[in-house]
Chains A and B, each alone.
Chain A
Amino acid sequence: MNAVEVNDLCKEYRDFTLDNISFNLPSGCIMGLIGENGAGKSTTIKLILNIIKRNKGTVKLFGRDNLDNFVEIAEDLGVVLDEVGFSEKLNAVQVGKIMRNTYKKWDQKVYEEYLDRFSLPLKKKFKDYSKGMKMKLGIAVALSHDPKLLILDEATSGLDPVVRDELMDIITEFTRDEGHSVLMSSHIVSDLEKTCDYIAFINNGKLLLCEEKDRLYEKYCIIHCTKETFSELDSSAFIGKKESPYGIEAIADRSKIPSSFEMSSIDIEKLFIFMVKGALT
């Protein structure tokens, strides 16, 4: 079963269009949405969460349309947006009281354990929290009602590497249960590369690619060659290239490159940059 099914999702703004996005996130998997700032990652997540209204397409969460059953669906969702939206006047104890009255499956003990694990002060006002502490409180809330799907929108941006690493560990821990899935967006590709099973690239409102991470490693490679050699090769093999005085660095489909060629393995960040900036015309 898919935790998230997105089909032909469209949203039009005056100066931006999210154009026919389609992807599936199978249960028990982690998917990373990668894209530049303003590429459409947050818009996609907001549409999935019904924060904004779609112009076209369908979104199904756990097999149910998000417009028809959102109140029921939300019981199984843990969400951390780029801005953890608690009033600055509240403290962690008050947040716990609010959430206890919000989620049917709220587990106060789990919440308190997370507060303890994150060393979050109970009585300190939210406005006095650091960015990392705010995010940790958001994570604690998102995980304390036994959600099946965790959705994180730019949750790691603005955090220091130690906190980011801690967050990634929690996400990995969360998906040890097969019924748990994670959809997370970030422009910090290295974070996603470490944890995700599926990678989706979004650029300029369009989905460039959505694949299993390991499949991307198998499918694509980096080659270094001269301009002359490059021109002799099958141009359909390449998805992006970068020219320098020393030659050409290109990302290519392994299956279309002669095996005699020296191919090095790609990393997701490079693949993304080449796809966005070095697309062959």
Chain B
Amino acid sequence: MKGLIKNDFFVFKRTVALALPINYVLSALIIIFSETDELLYTFPCIYSGMILGFIPAALYSEDKRSGWNKYNAVMPYRRRDYVIVKYLFGLVASLIYILFISCVILIKVNFSDWLDFDDYLFMLCIIVVCCLAPVAIIMPIALKHSPQVGFLAFGISCLLIGFLCGMASGYLDALFEENVDYWYNGGRGSFIILGSVALISVILYIISWFCSIKIYEKADL
């Protein structure tokens, strides 16, 4: 498995990793200097999370282009090792980013009372969702069909989920107008929803990991 990790590390260094330092710097600057929630949640959480979530599929896409996915299949590796390494890469990159963001927020908290622990938890949930959901959706489909189909499926899923969330929020607003406001303004409502979504993402991610292994073991490369 070490050879597979090494290969992914070299490829990662030469391709995906180029975008990450910019991402890190921008995220840190936004967290430290931003005074608005929108920017704080959009770039460091959603955008950066998504970028990290695309890492396993991007690595697989590069392998498919070069033929490494076929070539390593004739080496002393089990097919499951190949999938595990891809998921591990995404996971480690996400954990490093979360660690980095946590440090930046810690610095910010020391100098300003604008961010508190609740904000941190809120951001963490968004990052977890954005890091895990793309991998969970894209990878099994990419391994079964192609990375392009995987990315397409993810795009369609986002549109669908966005549409359904919009519908649901409009419906709930109309149905329980004051109660919904109270629920949110009470502070815990959005936490419960986001926490649940994060939990669902984690479960989906684990299921996706097992499905990807099964799919890849049976696939014609």
Contact = CB atoms under 8 A, between A and B. Distances in A.
Given A53-B220, A81-B71, A87-B62, A94 B10 contact: yes
A77 interface: yes
Interface string A47-90: 00111110000000000000000011011010101011111111
Contacts, number: 83
Given A87-B66, A88-B66, A71 B77 contact: yes
Contacts of B74: 49-51, 74, 77, 79, 81, 151
B68 A102 contact: no
A89 B14 contact: yes
Interface in B62-104: 62-63, 66-78
B165 interface: no
Q: Which of A79, A101, A102 has the most CB of B within 10 A?
A: A102
Contact of B73 (A50, A90, A98, A100): A50
The secondary structure that dominates the B interface is helix
A97 interface: yes
A251 interface: no
Nearest to A11: B220
A85 B6 contact: no
Interface string B35-67: 000000000000000000000000000110011
Nearest to A90: B10
A153 B74 CA distance: 13
A49 B73 contact: yes
A85 B51 CA distance: 26
A103 B75 contact: yes
B67 A102 contact: no
B6 A87 contact: no
A91 to B, nearest CB: 9
B15 interface: yes
B179 interface: no
Interface string B1-27: 011111100110011000000000000
Contacts of B2: 101-102
Given A71-B77, A77-B74, A81-B67, 8 more contacts: A53-B218, A84-B67, A85-B68, A90-B7, A98-B10, A101-B3, A101-B5, A151-B74
Interface of A: 46, 49-53, 71-72, 74-75, 77, 79, 81, 83-90, 94, 97-104, 151
- Top 3 A-B pairs, shortest CB-CB distance: A85-B71, A85-B67, A102-B3
